[in-house]
Amino acid sequence: MPKTEPFAGVVPVILSGGSGSRLWPVSRLSYPKQFLPLLGESSLIQETVQRTAPAYGFAAPLIVCAEDHRFIVAEHMRQIDVDPAGILLEPQGRNTAPALAAAALVARDKAPGAMLLVLPADHHIADPAGLRAAVAAGSPLARAGRLVTFGMVPDAPETGYGYVKPGAALGQDGGHIVDRFVEKPDRATAERFVADGYLWNSGMFLLSAQTYLDEIARHAPEVLRAAEAAVATATSDLSFLRLGADFAEAPSISIDYAVMERTDHAAVVPADIGWADLGSWSSLWQVGEKNEDGNVMQGDAWAIGTKNSLVRGEGIATVAVGVENLVVVATEDAVLVVAKDAVQQVKDAVELLKREGRKEASTHRQIYRPWGYYQTLHAGDRFQVKRLTVKPGGKLSLQKHFHRAEHWVVVNGTALVTRGEEQMLLQENESVYLPLGCVHRLENPGKVPLNLIEVQSGAYLGEDDIVRIEDAFGRA
């Protein structure tokens, strides 16, 4: 694909800090929606990065994410052969304005004239070429000092989105001065907005790194102070840039509230690109492929006499019979049934589960690690059975346990096991016993994933009973 001049020096900044609680039980804090393939084979963050790949003329992306998600982000980028310019780790989520301030400081230090294309990691865009055309249209405005937002042409009076009212035109490229931003309206107001030519506020921006820093200094200086201190004390950790603790001192505030609604340099470029903020199950139903009954069927899902519903089964057969306008989602450890017009209350259900101390509120049965993942299959009194999948070249830490012994049985693949002073190579159906206190390590030296069953036994089986002696990923 040929490089396109408007994108020269444009750095995609991917904001990946959301928890996606309204898409529970599929999206959870430990593995939120941006890492899920909700509408295709690629995850949302992969689709976001691929829309603005270097092949189109963009610079390598900067990604801002939670520290706990760093290895997930790195793995998702590896899968699509993308080498980010940096992965910035937030010690604490403080919303989008501080995240962008930190990214702008890093980008400006690398290239003083850097332009930033700010993209949330969890949006759906049916027409990626249309997005790039909108960026090209907004590029002259951004290079002239405008803070450009992209307003989506609405196809319905949506009450779940904020709106932008375009003002006077700016030149011949389709941009407008922003007349005003408006919060999520009620139905009647949304209908009037659509009739009056308002646009949906997409939360995507194109701006100069220096212009954003100048405006954040003017309108939210406390955000800039915290970001500057965090970048100044940032430390490199493998391929990550770990922002300093001062980042947590920034107020939790969005780009809209901190800058866009206060600046006199805001501009909006209209775009009709099949955009959706996948913030709820109803929005996923709206953009999903529907059958003749208006149902969106995903995974191991079935429907009889059911209309205008979303049915999704993950790891368990899920059947809806004789219902309408419902969302039915089943995972291996949780089931959600909710009316489509009540999906905003799913986050309240997540809070309820948290108050009750239920781990299903935040974590999946399948837990991801930089070397692969594990899944708890069964747990009882003084024992636990897990499945471990180690990716090719993956290596667990050299470790020991104070309270448990382990027995590993290789299902398929090849395992290189360190046990004390000895090393052994195990093939399919071979096993090894690791007594309590034994220093051990598991590696996959092969070219295919390694799957094994781990049987733990002991008085305490928590994940915090791991003493890491050596770790390739720098974990404590």
Show which of 253, 277, 301 is a domain's final residue: 277
Same domain for 308 and 224, yes or no, is no
User: What residues form DSSP beta bridges with 339?
Assistant: 326
Torsion of CA 73, 76, 80, 83, to 10 degrees: 20
CA count, 13 A, side-chain hemisphere, 247: 32
The answer to whether 267 and 179 have CB atoms below 8 angstroms apart is no
Radius of gyration of the chain measured on its C-alpha atoms = 24
The answer to whether 249 and 98 have CB atoms below 8 angstroms apart is no
Q: How many domains does the chain have?
A: 3
Same domain for 293 and 250, yes or no, is no
Same domain for 466 and 370, yes or no, is yes
Report, as an integer, the average pLDDT of 157-169.
93
Same domain for 189 and 303, yes or no, is no
- Alpha carbon distance, N-terminus to C-terminus of the chain: 43
Report angle CA 30, 183, 25 to the nearest 5 degrees.
25
Separation of alpha carbons 52 and 376, rounded Å = 38
Res. 4: pLDDT tops 50? no
Give tens-digit pLDDT for 19-61. Answer: 889 999 999 999 999 999 999 899 999 999 999 999 999 999 9
Same domain for 384 and 353, yes or no, is no
CATH number, domain containing residue 421: 2.60.120.10
Is residue 121 assigned to a domain?
A: yes
Distances in Å between the alpha carbon of 147 and those of 135, 236, 258? Answer: 12, 30, 13
Give tens-digit pLDDT for 281-337. Answer: 999 999 999 999 999 999 999 999 999 999 999 989 999 999 999 999 999 999 999
Show which of 360, 394, 417 is a domain's final residue: 360
Report, as an integer, the average pLDDT of 65-90.
95
Is residue 282 assigned to a domain?
A: no
Is residue 211 assigned to a domain?
A: yes
Write out the two tokens for 140: 């002259």
Is residue 385 assigned to a domain?
A: yes
Separation of alpha carbons 308 and 324, rounded Å = 6
Give tens-digit pLDDT for 440-459. Answer: 999 999 999 999 999 999 99
The answer to whether 166 and 151 have CB atoms below 8 angstroms apart is yes
Which residues contact residue 189 at a Cβ distance below 8 angstroms, ignoring those fewer than 6 apart? Answer: none
Same domain for 406 and 460, yes or no, is yes
Same domain for 267 and 323, yes or no, is no
pLDDT over 70 percentage in the chain: 99
Specify the 3-state DSSP secondary structure of 358: coil
Q: Which among 181, 152, 184 has a CA at the least distance from the CA of 167?
A: 181
Is residue 438 assigned to a domain?
A: yes
- The pTM score is 0.89
Report angle CA 37, 40, 41 to the nearest 5 degrees.
70
Same domain for 420 and 305, yes or no, is no
Same domain for 108 and 14, yes or no, is yes
Q: Which among 327, 348, 352, 350 has a CA at the least distance from the CA of 338?
A: 327
| pLDDT given for residue 2 in this prediction | 42
Separation of alpha carbons 182 and 187, rounded Å = 14
| pLDDT given for residue 403 in this prediction | 96
Give tens-digit pLDDT for 262-280. Answer: 999 999 999 999 999 998 9
The answer to whether 404 and 461 have CB atoms below 8 angstroms apart is yes
Separation of alpha carbons 51 and 129, rounded Å = 8
Is residue 283 assigned to a domain?
A: no
Same domain for 228 and 348, yes or no, is no
Same domain for 261 and 171, yes or no, is yes
CATH number, domain containing residue 157: 3.90.550.10
Is residue 270 assigned to a domain?
A: yes
Same domain for 139 and 35, yes or no, is yes
Give tens-digit pLDDT for 246-267. Answer: 999 999 999 999 999 999 999 9
Whats the size of the chain, residue-wise?
476
Separation of alpha carbons 236 and 475, rounded Å = 13
Specify the 3-state DSSP secondary structure of 29: coil
The answer to whether 376 and 365 have CB atoms below 8 angstroms apart is yes
Cβ atoms within 10 Å of 382's Cβ, excluding its own = 12
Res. 475: pLDDT tops 90? no
DSSP structure class, residue 160: S
Give the residue numbers spanning the domain of 326: 289-360
DSSP structure class, residue 324: B
Q: Are strands 240-242 and 86-90 parallel, antiparallel or unpaired?
A: parallel
Q: Are strands 310-321 and 296-304 parallel, antiparallel or unpaired?
A: parallel
Torsion of CA 336, 337, 341, 345, to 10 degrees: -40
The answer to whether 415 and 394 have CB atoms below 8 angstroms apart is no
Specify the 3-state DSSP secondary structure of 356: coil
| pLDDT given for residue 365 in this prediction | 86
Show which of 213, 247, 277 is a domain's final residue: 277
Is residue 284 assigned to a domain?
A: no
The answer to whether 116 and 212 have CB atoms below 8 angstroms apart is yes
Report, as an integer, the average pLDDT of 130-158.
95
Give tens-digit pLDDT for 226-246. Answer: 999 999 999 998 889 999 999
Res. 5: pLDDT tops 80? no
Write out the two tokens for 326: 């419902």
Q: Tokens 């059958």 — which residue? A: 291
Separation of alpha carbons 297 and 318, rounded Å = 10
174: confidence class by pLDDT, cuts 50, 70, 90: confident
The answer to whether 398 and 471 have CB atoms below 8 angstroms apart is yes
Per DSSP, helices labelled H in 178-262 are: 187-195, 209-219, 221-232, 255
| pLDDT given for residue 19 in this prediction | 80
Q: Which among 4, 67, 60, 68 has a CA at the least distance from the CA of 241?
A: 67
| pLDDT given for residue 145 in this prediction | 96
Res. 406: pLDDT tops 60? yes
Which residues contact residue 195 at a Cβ distance below 8 angstroms, ignoring those fewer than 6 apart? Answer: none
